[in-house]
Structure 1
């Protein structure tokens, strides 16, 4: 038998040793009381991982969800993704016995679950790096390994491993900010140079000072065209359709560095065990937070603050036709960044500013509160960030920003409010109502009506999807843009004049994220124009297609032509393979891959096709 290399592994194996002892006792008892023909062999009582050595297995290891009955929570959870993935795997032809789904409340529990699965799969060697702890006992029987390597059962286990897939998401827990968006959001998924943090080096926790494709269904269904963001993208040095990674906030650390020592030990063990799985031929897909010291075959980048901020900014640019606006008739846009964690807020604003920044600098957009202007930069996030510790914090914040006291207008004009999440959007709606703003976002898009939506749900006419008109005060697209020659001081003076002369109670666009059931009624009514979420069902389908391809012997490279959201990531593979201190440096994949789908944009015109028809919510959830 293989001995544990550390006290951590030993503690993980105690429950299993106890179960084995009970199983052995049971076998002896049955043998004593039954005829020889009915005696159950030890191999027949092993786990499902050895039930069919000719087929692959898929093991899913996800964090457990916190219990809640509230409707004011994000739509996507790990439990739902696990259920969707299992359903898709079964549809892809996997037997129920070949699929195991695990949930864990901590990385320590998760490490135990992975250890059990690998042992059942016949993988008992966890890499040389796992022996570095001074607490590791010396194996007493060195012949076990060589005997096992030549046995027929080992050959079967190897074949099974090469056809098997591990899908894992690190159970590190959520931050106060990320839980407002979805279970899948990570705030420090890249290093400062934009590369994946999954290739960072593993650190033995015993050392002193150590710490532990894009799918087009989302934005196209909401009518977001890249053409309307040409100026933004040319200034940012990218295209609107480009799938980018969030730049990390300065001073942020990897996901495991904030865990306690027990979790740090567990992450270290996981890195070695998953590396051993790769050496045996298992394909590892890691979703969300990268695992420190380990490079997965596929890294799933589901969501981030940067992507969430960028999505909403793109929506506003397209909806208000900012590309056709000129500086002497700018749009009034207020950006709200509610936060508990500064790094989350900073990354979210960087995503917003990459899109909206060029329009502020050119004078096409101004802030009614004056918190952002032509001289603002990505470092100006503190100007629009505010502590959100209670439900009414956003309401108070927006009421303060739009306060017209001392001005020549009774109501400051506002065209759009970027709220970042649905909780903040709810607060913004309350603020606007209390201040006397009236109407809905439907007035900005008269071609899509609520009655048309209801008719469509009842089997009537389809909702018309025409080009969204700009607000009535937007000038002709033939106007010239002289923003390059505009003096910033003069621009600020002109915009301050606008705050004193533009008097309007018209309802603005309000954006959010999370697709809270409590806010779906506001989406339908037009009070909230926009929300978003990760394409959970699309990811489940992709994971099943990848696992099915692996079982059939298809390479990940070949699968990129079959799974649109799967792409090669040469930069992260290069960084990972060059790091000799990584826990799986010797087994690190020569080529790594990224799994990423476009975030779904949900508005009144596609709530049926994108949410109700696909089973995310019911018509009753949306108040229909």
Structure 2
């Protein structure tokens, strides 16, 4: 009886062993593995592991924020990575609210995995450094105006050290979009390493002890108020110096950790923000200031058909360039004085890089039309002699709520009872666009963007979003001459009653033309602005194509972890990143969204819902 059961028992044991081997092998999809003493080692043909490090988003309850945030990228990227073959257990994510915490988290991750090299996890799996990719979005401080475009606008983290060896292959020109290293606002999410909390406690203890020490010093002294003021100023200076030192140390720690990771065989991909002098395996460029400015200018040129415009009937385009100066500790009055003049222009400062680059992108498109005289500025701020460096002519301090509306009202001020004619307002971001829409209503403009060279009606737009066919509508050709330059009707009119009737009719026509609602552009796809896009008050917005870029990133991770070149990806081109040449750059064209393509661009991919669009 016992002997009869032995073959069955042996067969069962063999089957169980085979199942275990297959289970271990499945942890490395489509991979070559080898088993030694009960452990399975992942080799270069496996997908391996990915570690994602991003800044933490602040808690925002308002819908008046850009659609693209780091918290939105994480689920899209995780889904793309799993679709590409990565196991969920091999995908980790850490968020940090400061560069100091982020650099420590990355340092701990790299050192820990190198220390555990050759060791197995609970499943007996060994993932070699060559099969690991670090996706790092460096925490870089952004001013209030830059944050209005979303989290993905490229900035540069400055460091005190340069990349050594081959990575020092830099070009003569540095990156144009740069920003001092800093920490983003917001709290650290639950996925942040526990070490961050410990660091915070240590920092708090030091602050408390320092405060107590200063209190004791205060009790034991009887200095004059002038001396106290001097001490306070000195303390503030010392505090600022300490913060700068901490920031510099964090930047250097981050670079050192990433260098160590690459030297050990790991792969490093930077997301959005570059690091001065550091060469990653790849850089993901979501968008930048020039791209944002250029996108809106190109769409305005196309919609207004500037290629067909004439000098006798030029298109009137107003450009708003919002800018938030960084306060340097001076009085509020001093910091506010930058925009006290009628035009709201500001001086050229180091913090104005984004505004300068955005205008450069705009003028690369519009400049030629202003030179030809087929485009002009209603306010006279731009003309045929304007260059790419004249950004300050249209820039203004947008740090206070309502400042954009105030500047627009000043620029479009009319000396008559009829509004100033304007065909388009480039507002750059949706926050400014919302103020523009409100102010245009107050100034007496009527209609919507659907009335300008129309292709579909408002009812057709709603029908399109609901899944119905668009209602076609032919564009009305624009006259070669503007009414004020066309004297044919006046010459043909008789004196007396006929002329009076003609003048009255002409005045009515002029008012209707001058009060026609202009194109209003923006960027950020704010949920609060989508209804205005649907009804045509805001003609267009734009965003980085987050979901497609997430798929590109996953593809790059697979290629890096399996030893394949990135050159085979259609979204990759070599370029300069952080002053370093020949870096593979992953990018996708931005999405330009108007009422006519809202469903296909935002609703169908899942960026927003019908309810978000007010439907």
Q: By how many angstroms is 1:475 displaced? A: 6.5
Superposed CA RMSD:
3.2
Residue pair 1:178, 1:186 contacting (<8 A) in 2 also: no
Structure 2 CA distance for aligned equivalents of residues 445 and 404 of structure 1: 25
What is the aligned partner in structure 2 of residue 597 from structure 1? 588
Query: Which residues of structure 1 form unaligned runs of 5+?
Result: 1-47, 125-147, 190-196, 204-244, 477-500, 578-590
1:530 paired to 2:540: yes
Residue 78 of structure 2 is aligned to residue 77 of structure 1 = no
Shift of 1:595: 1.0
- Please give the alpha-carbon distance, in whole angstroms, between the structure 1 residues aligned to 2:252 and 2:591: 34
Q: How does 1:213-292 map to 2 (within 5 A)?
A: 248=176, 255=181, 260-292=244-276
1:299 paired residue number: 283
Aligned to 1:43: none
- Find the residue that maps to 1:186 and give its secondary structure: coil
The answer to whether the aligner puts 1:393 opposite 2:403 as a matched pair is yes
Contact 1:62 1:171 in 2 (8 A): yes
Q: Secondary structure at the match of 2:550?
A: helix
What residue number does 2:152 align with?
Answer: 184
Matches of 2:564 and 2:100 in 1, distance apart?
A: 33
Q: Output one character per residue of 1:37-81: Cα deviation in whole Å (capped at 9) or x when no partner.
A: xxxxxxxxxxx9x99745511000000001101111000001111
- 1:506 corresponds, among 488, 508, 516, to 516
Q: 2-side partners of 1:576 and 1:368: how far apart?
A: 42
Q: 1:274 to 1:188 in 2, by over 3 A?
A: closer
- Aligned partners of 1:390, 1:430: CA distance in 2, in Å? 16
Task: Specify whether residues 247 and 346 from structure 1 end up closer, same or farther in structure 2 by C-alpha distance, changes over 3 A only.
Answer: farther
In the alignment, does 2:420 pair up with 1:416?
Answer: no
For 1:318 and 1:310, how far apart are their aligned partners in 2?
A: 12
Change (3 A) 1:300 1:529: same
Report the CA distance shift for 1:198/1:415 in structure 2 as closer, same or farther (over 3 A). farther
Q: Mark the CA change 1:460 to 1:51 in structure 2 (over 3 Å): closer, same or farther.
A: farther
Query: How far does residue 553 in structure 1 lie from its aligned partner after superposition?
Result: 2.9
Q: Report SS of the residue matched to 2:283.
A: strand
Instruction: Describe the superposition over 1:548-603 as per-residue Cα deviations: whole angstroms up to 9, x where unpaired.
Output: 2233332223xxx3x3211233x669x748xxxxxxxxxxxxx6301111111000
Contact kept in structure 1, 2:98 and 2:182, CA below 8 Å: no
Q: Does 1:425 align with 2:433?
A: yes
Instruction: Please report the TM-score for the alignment, with normalisation by the length of structure 1.
Output: 0.67
Deviation sequence 1:370-416 (CA, Å, 0-9, x none): 111111112221111111123311111111111112x5x72211100
Is the partner of 1:174 in helix, strand or coil?
coil
CA apart distance, 1:266:
1.4
TM-score by length of 2: 0.68
Aligned pairs for 1:325-404 within 5 A: 325-341=309-325, 342-404=352-414
Cα 1:338/1:444, change in 2 over 3 Å: same
Q: Greater shift after overlay, 383-392 or 85-94?
A: 383-392
> Is the partner of 2:312 in helix, strand or coil?
coil
How far apart are the structure 1 equivalents of 2:289 and 2:273? 13
**Partner-residue secondary structure (3-state), 2:419:** coil
Match of 1:93 in 2: 85
Q: Determine if the alignment matches structure 1 residue 473 to structure 2 residue 473.
A: no
Gaps of 5+ in 2: 1-27, 29-38, 165-172, 184-239, 326-351, 483-509
- Cα distance in 1, alignment partners of residues 160 and 571 from structure 2: 21
Aligned match of 1:225: none
**CA gap 1:595/1:470 in 2 versus in 1, 3 angstroms:** farther
Count of equivalent residues: 453
SS of equivalent residue, structure 2 residue 525: coil
Q: Distance in 1 between matches of 2:437 and 2:69?
A: 26
2:606 alignment partner in structure 1: 615
Seen in structure 2, the aligned counterparts of structure 1 residues 437 and 504 have a Cα distance that, compared at 3 Å, is: same
